[in-house]
Chain A
Amino acid sequence: NAGVTQTPKFRVLKTGQSMTLLCAQDMNHEYMYWYRQDPGMGLRLIHYSVGEGTTAKGEVPDGYNVSRLKKQNFLLGLESAAPSQTSVYFCASRPDRGSVYEQYFGPGTRLTVT
């Protein structure tokens, strides 16, 4: 049981390049989330999904797109990277259980855009 995994762990992009970050979970969780974490800003929600085939915008969605074609995977895409997207990206998932609201986080992807 690997939990939540993220690929890649590190990446350096040039401005204007595109890339996709992959999040995978093997816990059969319904909900998945993409956050970015910047110094002094905390964790900010980019996009999230409440189930396979669904996505919704979070607090800071501009410049990002997402897809949830399979329940276990949640992809975050940057179509044209900008230096402002330099950040640590965390994926998280949680089960659809009413009384427990623990989000399980992946190890993060450190992205630098030059």
Chain B
Amino acid sequence: RKEVEQDPGPFNVPEGATVAFNCTYSNSASQSFFWYRQDCRKEPKLLMSVYSSGNEDGRFTAQLNRASQYISLLIRDSKLSDSATYLCAVRTGGGNKLTFGTGTQLKVEL
């Protein structure tokens, strides 16, 4: 089983829709969680960290479910500009490394 797993998609949604992605992780010792956004042929950029109590940044909401070992990203009122690949990343214990999922592709359509 991969350490971090994501549904590759693509998720094709109309503009204005709400869409959610999940990311599962296998190591119960994982402590820090993140969502990165990667545009086509560009570098990944941090979208948001995921806190234990859940957190929101504008139209984006991230949640952590430790019992089931997954994190989620909810995007409300999708915009065309949200079209990208969303990578989840997990830091385990006190390590200096992140393990990335393969990414979920989102396509927002008119």
Report which A residues bind B (CB closer than 8 A): 31, 33, 35, 40-45, 48, 50, 58, 90, 101-103, 105-108
Contact = CB atoms under 8 A, between A and B. Distances in A.
Contact of B96 (A35, A48, A106): A48
B1 interface: no
A40 B43 contact: no
Given A101-B34, A101-B91, A43 B43 contact: no
Nearest to A40: B102
Contacts of A102: 34, 46, 49
Given A31-B96, A42-B102, A101 B43 contact: no
**What DSSP secondary structure best describes chain B's contact surface?**
strand
Given A41-B102, A101-B98, 17 more contacts: A31-B96, A40-B102, A42-B87, A42-B101, A42-B102, A42-B103, A43-B44, A45-B98, A48-B97, A58-B97, A101-B32, A102-B34, A102-B46, A102-B49, A103-B46, A103-B98, A105-B45
Contacts of A58: 97
Given A105-B45, A107-B42, A43 B97 contact: no
Contacts of A45: 97-99
A94 B21 CA distance: 26
Contact of B43 (A42, A48, A107): A107
Enumerate the 3 nearest inter-chain pairs by beta-carbon distance, A residue then B residue, closest first.
A42-B102, A105-B43, A43-B100
A36 B45 CA distance: 16
Given A42-B103, A43-B87, A105 B44 contact: yes
Interface in B72-110: 87, 91, 96-103
Contacts of B98: 45, 101, 103
